[in-house]
Amino acid sequence: MNKTELVEAIAKKSGLSKKTSEAALNAFTETVGKTLKKGDKIQLVGFGTFEVAKRAARTGRNPQTGATIKIAASKTPKFKAGKALKDLVNKKK
């Protein structure tokens, strides 16, 4: 499912217009991004948790040349599914 299809599904399920649904989806993704950038996490009970994970600096290899390279420490967004979402995906009730 891409963004357009998601907006259509939200509009159909909620009874909102596609334009309003897209605005809500954009606001959600923007808010999640800004919150994670600050280092905070977002918990949606039953759905899951968005948070930032720290990746340590490490040594890697260039696959073309085989040369050793240093990979800097970084932060990456992480999503951990909640129990209700896991159960839904696994068809448990």
| 8-42 pLDDT tens trace | 999 999 999 999 999 999 999 999 999 999 999 99
Domain containing residue 33: 3-89
Mean pLDDT of 65-73: 94
The CATH number of the domain holding residue 36 is: 4.10.520.10
Write down the pTM of the prediction: 0.79
Mean pLDDT of 75-89: 94
> Which run of H or E residues covers position 72?
none
Residue 91 is predicted with a pLDDT of 86
Say how many domains are in the chain: 1
C-alpha to C-alpha distance for 7 and 30, rounded to whole angstroms: 15
Percentage of the chain modeled with pLDDT above 70: 98
Kindly report the length of the chain.
Answer: 93
Residues contacting residue 72 through CB under 8 Å, at least 6 positions apart: 57
Mean pLDDT estimate for the chain: 95
